[in-house]
């Protein structure tokens, strides 16, 4: 292979990268072609070693997007990547994944499908493969992976051949292109190539083998993916989940969680057993924001009757201490009764408003909303059909805004209304785009729940 000079790398790498690699193993022509194509897709070439090309993915306006991390491309599979790349690679608009309309190809991420769970998928009997993909040279793009109790990396796939105009469908490890966009950066448990490893990221591939319009590819791939996911669950006892793309700011729980304290002190908080279980469970299901939200809300809900009962006691005490109270007077007794009834006979929404207003510290609420949440809590935020929260709103106090929003988010999670008039308040589905963006609301209800627990320490 002839030695390449700086000009050969000029259109794929910056000068400092060129200086690092020019005197070592040169890139092959197909690797340069792949890097040029990746550059058109806004990937930045960083370095390479004997086994891998290392690139950094494109930024898309979100802070620290998942695919902005350093990614490794196995040099042994650059030809597979090059065969995939098209200048019009698009994000699938409905399911987390990518589409290449010019090739009639869609690849969607099978979320939370571990190696063990995937092994159950690959043990299923798919029937005869009667398409060109049965030939190794024509197989859909998929990287090898090291499976437990097997020597060396291997390819495993569940392939279903399409009939007539139907596309082929396959579940297998990610293709090089999907791995670049959606794979995690250099995680463990991978097939080794040199001192790097290939990660496992199960994907559902839809392949027509010919160009398809963007709308048709989107609609058909979503329909097939949802149908296959349902039938695998019902008929085969295998759960394959599909996520919607993230919308709005990608604000992760770890980045927005309160600062943790290293020092541990002897426990002194009084926490009811039920509250402890609900709070702990919510903290463990951060990958399911609606479920985490509901669990925090249930922990908060536990205090509704406690605080309202305290208000009733205070209202009764005020009447009894009043100078006009007469134990022999029917009117005085009725005022006491009305005071008690007025304090406890309230809707859940009203009780939540009372709790936030009287028992959550204003300083903590204001600090929470002083953080940079972008437009998340505004009217143009990603969660539809719920009230905005604006700390500068002089027409409504902050506590009522917070209570109203928490209550409406809760309603969207638990209430399903298949009615056009509720089109902006339909059920907030798990794994939907709104669900994936819900983390800031989860943190808000978590804060209010901690405030309720703190306030309960001072009740008799």
Under the banding of pLDDT at 50, 70 and 90, the label for residue 56 is confident
Any alpha helices (H) in 59-206, and if so which ranges? 78-84, 115-122, 176-182
Q: Among 46, 62, 85, identify where a domain stops.
A: 85
Is the CB of residue 68 less than 8 Å from the CB of residue 58?
yes
Residue 226 CA to residue 169 CA, distance in Å, equals 12
Residues 304 and 435 occupy one common structural domain: yes
pLDDT of residue 294: 94
Residues 258 and 349 occupy one common structural domain: yes
Residues 18 and 128 occupy one common structural domain: no
DSSP, residue by residue, 320-345: HHSTT--TT-HHHHHHHHHHHHHHHS
Residues 78 and 90 occupy one common structural domain: no
Residues 151 and 228 occupy one common structural domain: yes
Residues 238 and 270 occupy one common structural domain: no
Under the banding of pLDDT at 50, 70 and 90, the label for residue 64 is very low
Is the CB of residue 108 less than 8 Å from the CB of residue 221?
yes
User: What is the SS3 assignment for 429?
Assistant: coil
The neighbour count for residue 303, using CB atoms within 10 Å, is 24
Residue 337 CA to residue 149 CA, distance in Å, equals 73
User: What is the SS3 assignment for 191?
Assistant: strand
pLDDT of residue 85: 86
Q: What is the pTM of this model?
A: 0.69
Residues 282 and 220 occupy one common structural domain: no
Residues 107 and 240 occupy one common structural domain: yes
pLDDT of residue 194: 43
Residues 359 and 426 occupy one common structural domain: yes
Residues 78 and 222 occupy one common structural domain: no
Per-residue pLDDT tens over the stretch 84-108 = 887 788 999 889 999 999 999 999 9
Residue 165 CA to residue 145 CA, distance in Å, equals 31
pLDDT of residue 443: 93
Strand partners, 197: 192
Please report, in angstroms and rounded to a whole number, the separation of the first and last CA atoms in the chain.
84
Residue 423 CA to residue 152 CA, distance in Å, equals 52
Per-residue pLDDT tens over the stretch 243-272 = 887 665 444 433 445 556 667 766 777 878
Under the banding of pLDDT at 50, 70 and 90, the label for residue 3 is very low
**With 60 as the cut, is the pLDDT of residue 421 above it?**
no
Between the alpha carbon of residue 117 and those of residues 113, 120, 240, the distances in Å are 6, 5, 9
Average pLDDT of span 295-316: 75
Is the CB of residue 345 less than 8 Å from the CB of residue 339?
no
Share of the chain above pLDDT 90, in %: 27
Domain that holds residue 118: 86-245
Residue 231 CA to residue 227 CA, distance in Å, equals 6
Residues 320 and 418 occupy one common structural domain: yes
Strand partners, 52: 74
Mean pLDDT of the chain: 79
Residue 373 CA to residue 309 CA, distance in Å, equals 36
Residues 274 and 400 occupy one common structural domain: yes
Q: Among 202, 223, 245, identify where a domain stops.
A: 245
Q: Among 182, 212, 245, identify where a domain stops.
A: 245
- How many domains are contained in the chain? 3
Q: Is 237 left (phi over 0), alpha (psi -120 to 50) or beta?
A: left
Residue count of the chain: 460
């Amino acid at each position: 292979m002839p030695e390449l000079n700086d000009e050969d790398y000029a259109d794929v790498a910056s000068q400092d990268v060129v200086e690092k690699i020019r005197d070592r193993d040169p890139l092959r022509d197909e690797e340069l072609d792949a890097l040029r194509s990746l550059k058109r897709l806004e990937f930045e070439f960083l370095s390479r070693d004997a086994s891998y090309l290392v690139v950094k993915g494109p930024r898309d306006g979100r802070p620290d997007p998942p695919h902005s991390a350093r990614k490794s491309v196995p040099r042994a599979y650059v030809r597979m990547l090059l065969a995939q790349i098209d200048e019009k690679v698009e994000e699938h608009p409905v399911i987390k994944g990518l589409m290449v309309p010019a090739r009639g190809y869609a690849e969607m991420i099978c979320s939370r499908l571990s190696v063990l769970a995937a092994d159950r998928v690959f043990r299923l009997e798919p029937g005869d493969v009667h398409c060109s993909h049965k030939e190794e040279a024509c197989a859909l793009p998929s990287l090898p992976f090291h499976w437990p109790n097997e020597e060396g990396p291997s390819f495993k796939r569940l392939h279903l051949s399409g009939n007539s105009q139907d596309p082929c469908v396959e579940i297998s490890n990610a293709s090089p292109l999907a791995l670049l966009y959606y794979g995690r950066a250099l995680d463990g448990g991978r097939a080794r190539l040199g001192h790097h490893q290939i990660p496992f990221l199960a994907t559902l591939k839809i392949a027509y083998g010919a160009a398809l319009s963007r709308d048709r590819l989107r609609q058909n791939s979503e329909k097939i993916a949802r149908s296959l996911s349902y039938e695998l669950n019902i008929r085969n006892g295998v759960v394959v989940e599909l996520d919607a793309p993230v919308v709005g700011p990608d604000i992760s729980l770890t980045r927005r969680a309160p600062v943790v304290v290293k020092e541990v002190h002897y426990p002194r908080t009084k926490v009811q057993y039920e509250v402890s279980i609900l709070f702990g469970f919510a903290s463990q299901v951060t990958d399911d924001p609606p479920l985490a939200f509901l669990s925090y809300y249930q922990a908060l809900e536990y205090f509704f009757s406690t605080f309202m009962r305290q208000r009733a006691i205070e209202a009764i005490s005020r009447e009894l201490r009043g100078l006009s109270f007469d134990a022999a007077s029917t009117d005085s007794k009725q005022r006491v009764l009305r005071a008690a009834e007025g304090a406890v006979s309230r809707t859940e929404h009203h009780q939540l408003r009372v709790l936030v207003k009287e028992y959550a510290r204003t300083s903590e609420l204001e600090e929470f909303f002083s953080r940079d949440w972008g437009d998340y809590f505004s009217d143009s935020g990603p969660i539809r059909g719920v009230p905005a929260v604006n700390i500068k709103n002089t027409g409504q106090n902050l506590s009522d805004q917070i209570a109203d929003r928490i209550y409406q988010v809760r309603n969207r999670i638990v209430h399903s209304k298949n009615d056009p008039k509720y089109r902006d308040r339909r059920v907030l589905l798990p794994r939907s785009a709104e669900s994936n963006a819900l983390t800031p609301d989860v943190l808000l209800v978590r804060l209010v729940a901690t405030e309720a627990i703190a306030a309960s320490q001072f009740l008799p």
